Amino acid sequence: MIGIIGGSGLYSGLEELGGEERIVRTRFGDMKVLLGENFVFLSRHGNPPVPPHMVKYHANIEVFKNLKIEKVVAISSVGSLVKEVKPGEILVPDDLLDFTGRVWTYHNDKPVHVNLYEPFCPSLREEIKNIGGMKIGGIYATTKGPQFETRAEANMLRMLGAKVVGMTVAPEARLAREMELCYQPICPVVNYVDGNTTHENTIEMVKKMEEKIADIVMRLIQSNGV
Protein backbone atom coordinates (compact mmCIF):
# COMPACT_ATOMS: atom_id res chain seq x y z
CA MET A 1 0.00 0.00 0.00
CA ILE A 2 1.36 3.39 -0.95
CA GLY A 3 0.12 6.96 -0.52
CA ILE A 4 0.40 9.49 -3.31
CA ILE A 5 0.11 13.24 -2.97
CA GLY A 6 -0.62 14.65 -6.40
CA GLY A 7 0.26 18.15 -7.48
CA SER A 8 -2.03 20.42 -9.44
CA GLY A 9 -2.88 18.95 -12.81
CA LEU A 10 -1.87 15.38 -12.11
CA TYR A 11 -5.29 14.00 -11.31
CA SER A 12 -6.36 13.43 -14.92
CA GLY A 13 -3.29 11.32 -15.71
CA LEU A 14 -4.22 8.92 -12.94
CA GLU A 15 -7.89 8.41 -13.70
CA GLU A 16 -7.20 5.02 -15.22
CA LEU A 17 -6.01 3.83 -11.82
CA GLY A 18 -9.55 3.30 -10.71
CA GLY A 19 -10.30 3.51 -7.02
CA GLU A 20 -13.24 4.98 -5.18
CA GLU A 21 -13.73 8.37 -3.64
CA ARG A 22 -13.72 8.29 0.14
CA ILE A 23 -13.85 10.88 2.86
CA VAL A 24 -11.18 10.61 5.53
CA ARG A 25 -11.73 12.37 8.87
CA THR A 26 -8.82 14.33 10.32
CA ARG A 27 -8.50 16.77 13.23
CA PHE A 28 -8.15 19.47 10.57
CA GLY A 29 -11.18 18.66 8.48
CA ASP A 30 -12.63 15.98 6.22
CA MET A 31 -10.51 15.16 3.19
CA LYS A 32 -11.47 13.49 -0.07
CA VAL A 33 -9.17 10.73 -1.33
CA LEU A 34 -9.18 8.16 -4.07
CA LEU A 35 -8.89 4.76 -2.44
CA GLY A 36 -7.66 1.86 -4.58
CA GLU A 37 -6.69 -1.69 -3.76
CA ASN A 38 -3.00 -0.79 -3.38
CA PHE A 39 -2.98 2.96 -3.06
CA VAL A 40 -4.49 6.12 -1.68
CA PHE A 41 -4.36 9.21 -3.84
CA LEU A 42 -4.80 12.69 -2.38
CA SER A 43 -4.85 15.88 -4.40
CA ARG A 44 -2.61 18.33 -2.54
CA HIS A 45 -4.38 21.50 -3.61
CA GLY A 46 -7.91 20.10 -3.55
CA ASN A 47 -10.65 20.86 -6.03
CA PRO A 48 -11.03 23.73 -6.85
CA PRO A 49 -7.30 24.12 -6.14
CA VAL A 50 -5.94 26.47 -3.47
CA PRO A 51 -2.51 28.15 -3.78
CA PRO A 52 0.55 26.60 -2.08
CA HIS A 53 0.40 28.82 1.03
CA MET A 54 -3.26 27.85 1.61
CA VAL A 55 -2.83 24.08 1.26
CA LYS A 56 -4.19 22.11 4.26
CA TYR A 57 -0.86 20.45 4.94
CA HIS A 58 -1.78 19.25 8.44
CA ALA A 59 -4.93 17.55 7.19
CA ASN A 60 -3.22 16.14 4.09
CA ILE A 61 -0.48 14.40 6.06
CA GLU A 62 -2.83 13.21 8.80
CA VAL A 63 -4.93 11.43 6.17
CA PHE A 64 -2.13 8.92 5.62
CA LYS A 65 -1.47 8.45 9.32
CA ASN A 66 -5.16 7.79 9.94
CA LEU A 67 -5.28 5.27 7.10
CA LYS A 68 -2.12 3.60 8.50
CA ILE A 69 -0.21 4.18 5.28
CA GLU A 70 3.44 4.65 6.03
CA LYS A 71 4.93 5.22 2.59
CA VAL A 72 4.04 8.44 0.82
CA VAL A 73 5.34 9.82 -2.47
CA ALA A 74 4.61 13.43 -3.28
CA ILE A 75 4.54 14.75 -6.82
CA SER A 76 5.81 18.33 -6.61
CA SER A 77 6.60 20.45 -9.65
CA VAL A 78 9.75 22.52 -9.48
CA GLY A 79 11.80 25.09 -11.31
CA SER A 80 15.43 24.23 -12.04
CA LEU A 81 18.22 26.43 -10.71
CA VAL A 82 21.00 24.65 -12.60
CA LYS A 83 21.72 24.01 -16.28
CA GLU A 84 22.19 20.27 -15.88
CA VAL A 85 18.64 19.72 -14.59
CA LYS A 86 16.39 20.40 -17.56
CA PRO A 87 12.69 21.11 -17.90
CA GLY A 88 10.98 17.86 -18.89
CA GLU A 89 13.20 15.82 -16.57
CA ILE A 90 12.27 14.40 -13.18
CA LEU A 91 14.42 14.97 -10.10
CA VAL A 92 14.16 12.96 -6.90
CA PRO A 93 15.73 15.23 -4.26
CA ASP A 94 17.60 13.99 -1.20
CA ASP A 95 17.80 17.16 0.89
CA LEU A 96 15.76 20.20 1.76
CA LEU A 97 15.99 23.94 2.42
CA ASP A 98 13.00 25.73 3.93
CA PHE A 99 12.39 29.40 3.18
CA THR A 100 8.69 29.34 3.95
CA GLY A 101 9.40 31.26 7.15
CA ARG A 102 6.56 29.46 8.86
CA VAL A 103 6.36 26.93 11.68
CA TRP A 104 5.14 23.52 10.55
CA THR A 105 4.29 21.21 13.43
CA TYR A 106 1.55 19.17 15.06
CA HIS A 107 2.98 19.98 18.49
CA ASN A 108 1.95 23.37 19.78
CA ASP A 109 1.45 22.53 23.44
CA LYS A 110 4.66 20.70 24.37
CA PRO A 111 8.23 20.65 23.05
CA VAL A 112 8.71 17.80 20.57
CA HIS A 113 11.83 17.84 18.38
CA VAL A 114 12.02 15.22 15.65
CA ASN A 115 15.21 14.49 13.71
CA LEU A 116 15.10 15.94 10.21
CA TYR A 117 18.78 15.52 9.29
CA GLU A 118 17.70 13.10 6.54
CA PRO A 119 14.48 14.89 5.55
CA PHE A 120 13.22 12.32 3.04
CA CYS A 121 12.99 8.53 3.00
CA PRO A 122 16.14 6.81 1.64
CA SER A 123 14.51 3.38 1.23
CA LEU A 124 11.61 4.80 -0.79
CA ARG A 125 14.09 6.84 -2.82
CA GLU A 126 15.96 3.61 -3.59
CA GLU A 127 12.71 2.01 -4.78
CA ILE A 128 12.06 5.00 -7.03
CA LYS A 129 15.63 4.89 -8.33
CA ASN A 130 15.09 1.29 -9.41
CA ILE A 131 12.27 2.37 -11.72
CA GLY A 132 14.87 4.36 -13.67
CA GLY A 133 14.62 7.41 -15.88
CA MET A 134 14.95 9.98 -13.10
CA LYS A 135 17.79 12.06 -11.68
CA ILE A 136 18.43 11.07 -8.09
CA GLY A 137 19.72 13.50 -5.47
CA GLY A 138 19.94 17.23 -5.01
CA ILE A 139 18.63 19.91 -2.72
CA TYR A 140 15.02 21.08 -3.05
CA ALA A 141 14.54 24.65 -1.78
CA THR A 142 11.06 25.61 -0.62
CA THR A 143 9.90 29.20 -0.97
CA LYS A 144 6.69 30.57 0.46
CA GLY A 145 5.47 31.70 -2.95
CA PRO A 146 3.07 32.24 -4.53
CA GLN A 147 5.29 34.48 -6.68
CA PHE A 148 8.27 32.99 -8.45
CA GLU A 149 11.78 33.96 -7.27
CA THR A 150 13.63 37.19 -7.87
CA ARG A 151 17.01 37.01 -9.60
CA ALA A 152 18.73 37.61 -6.26
CA GLU A 153 16.70 34.90 -4.54
CA ALA A 154 17.50 32.44 -7.33
CA ASN A 155 21.21 33.29 -7.05
CA MET A 156 21.09 32.88 -3.27
CA LEU A 157 19.50 29.44 -3.61
CA ARG A 158 22.17 28.44 -6.17
CA MET A 159 24.91 29.61 -3.81
CA LEU A 160 23.42 27.42 -1.09
CA GLY A 161 23.64 24.45 -3.45
CA ALA A 162 19.95 24.02 -4.27
CA LYS A 163 19.19 22.36 -7.60
CA VAL A 164 15.45 22.95 -7.72
CA VAL A 165 12.89 25.20 -6.11
CA GLY A 166 9.22 24.69 -5.34
CA MET A 167 6.58 25.85 -2.88
CA THR A 168 5.24 22.76 -1.13
CA VAL A 169 7.76 20.17 0.06
CA ALA A 170 9.08 21.65 3.33
CA PRO A 171 5.73 21.63 5.19
CA GLU A 172 4.97 18.11 3.99
CA ALA A 173 8.40 16.74 4.92
CA ARG A 174 8.31 18.28 8.40
CA LEU A 175 4.78 17.12 9.20
CA ALA A 176 5.37 13.69 7.67
CA ARG A 177 8.42 13.19 9.90
CA GLU A 178 6.38 14.14 12.96
CA MET A 179 3.84 11.52 11.88
CA GLU A 180 6.67 9.01 11.34
CA LEU A 181 5.80 8.54 7.67
CA CYS A 182 8.31 7.54 5.02
CA TYR A 183 7.98 10.54 2.69
CA GLN A 184 9.74 11.16 -0.61
CA PRO A 185 9.04 13.82 -3.24
CA ILE A 186 9.29 13.18 -6.98
CA CYS A 187 9.74 16.46 -8.83
CA PRO A 188 8.77 17.11 -12.44
CA VAL A 189 10.99 19.95 -13.61
CA VAL A 190 8.70 22.36 -15.41
CA ASN A 191 10.88 25.43 -16.02
CA TYR A 192 14.26 27.02 -15.59
CA VAL A 193 14.14 29.70 -12.90
CA ASP A 194 14.60 32.77 -15.06
CA GLY A 195 12.79 35.78 -16.43
CA ASN A 196 10.74 33.71 -18.87
CA THR A 197 8.81 31.70 -16.29
CA THR A 198 5.07 32.26 -16.26
CA HIS A 199 2.25 30.43 -14.52
CA GLU A 200 0.90 29.44 -17.92
CA ASN A 201 4.09 27.88 -19.26
CA THR A 202 4.68 25.92 -16.04
CA ILE A 203 1.14 24.49 -16.28
CA GLU A 204 1.73 23.63 -19.93
CA MET A 205 4.86 21.68 -18.98
CA VAL A 206 3.04 19.90 -16.13
CA LYS A 207 0.47 18.75 -18.71
CA LYS A 208 3.21 17.52 -21.06
CA MET A 209 4.79 15.51 -18.24
CA GLU A 210 1.57 14.05 -16.87
CA GLU A 211 1.80 10.75 -18.71
CA LYS A 212 5.40 10.17 -17.66
CA ILE A 213 4.52 10.87 -14.02
CA ALA A 214 1.42 8.67 -14.14
CA ASP A 215 3.59 5.85 -15.47
CA ILE A 216 6.06 6.18 -12.58
CA VAL A 217 3.23 6.30 -10.04
CA MET A 218 1.65 3.23 -11.64
CA ARG A 219 4.90 1.30 -11.32
CA LEU A 220 5.27 2.31 -7.69
CA ILE A 221 1.73 1.17 -6.97
CA GLN A 222 2.36 -2.16 -8.67
CA SER A 223 5.54 -2.77 -6.71
CA ASN A 224 3.72 -1.94 -3.47
CA GLY A 225 0.86 -4.37 -4.08
CA VAL A 226 -1.38 -5.17 -1.12
Report DSSP letters for 16-55, one per residue.
Answer: GG--EEEEEEETTEEEEEEE-SSEEEEETTTTTTPPGGG-
For residues 184 and 202, which CB has a smaller minimum distance to ligand HPA in the complex? 202
Query: Which residues share a beta bridge with 166?
Result: 142
Residues paired with residue 184 on neighbouring β-strands, in sequence order = 73
Task: Pick the closer one to ligand HPA by CB: 149 or 172.
Answer: 149
Name the residue whose CB lies closest to ligand HPA: 79
**In terms of CB distance, is 115 or 147 closer to ligand HPA?**
147
Which residues contact ligand HPA (rule: CB under 6 A)? 77-79, 143, 148-149, 165-167, 190-191, 193, 197, 202
- The CB-of-107 to ligand HPA minimum distance in angstroms stands at 28
- In whole angstroms, the minimum distance from the beta carbon of 13 to ligand HPA comes to 17
Q: How far is the CB of 68 from ligand HPA (least distance, A)?
A: 31
* CA pseudo-torsion sign 205, 211, 213, 214: positive
Nearer to ligand HPA, 19 or 49 (CB): 49
- How far apart are alpha carbons 121 and 89 in whole angstroms? 21
User: For residue 16, which amino acid is it?
Assistant: E
Residue 149 or 178: the one with the smaller Cβ distance to ligand HPA is: 149
Give me the least distance between CB of 156 and ligand HPA, in Å please.
13
CB of 34 to ligand HPA, least distance (A): 24
Q: How far is the CB of 106 from ligand HPA (least distance, A)?
A: 25
The closest of 57, 40, 90 to 173, measured between CA atoms, is 57
Q: What's the rounded Cα separation, in Å, for the pair 213 and 54?
A: 24
Nearer to ligand HPA, 6 or 36 (CB): 6
Measure the CA–CA gap between 43 and 34, rounded to whole angstroms: 9
Cβ distance 192 to 147 under 8 Å? Answer: no
- How far are the Cα atoms of 52, 97, 136 from residue 140, in angstroms, in the given order? 16, 6, 12
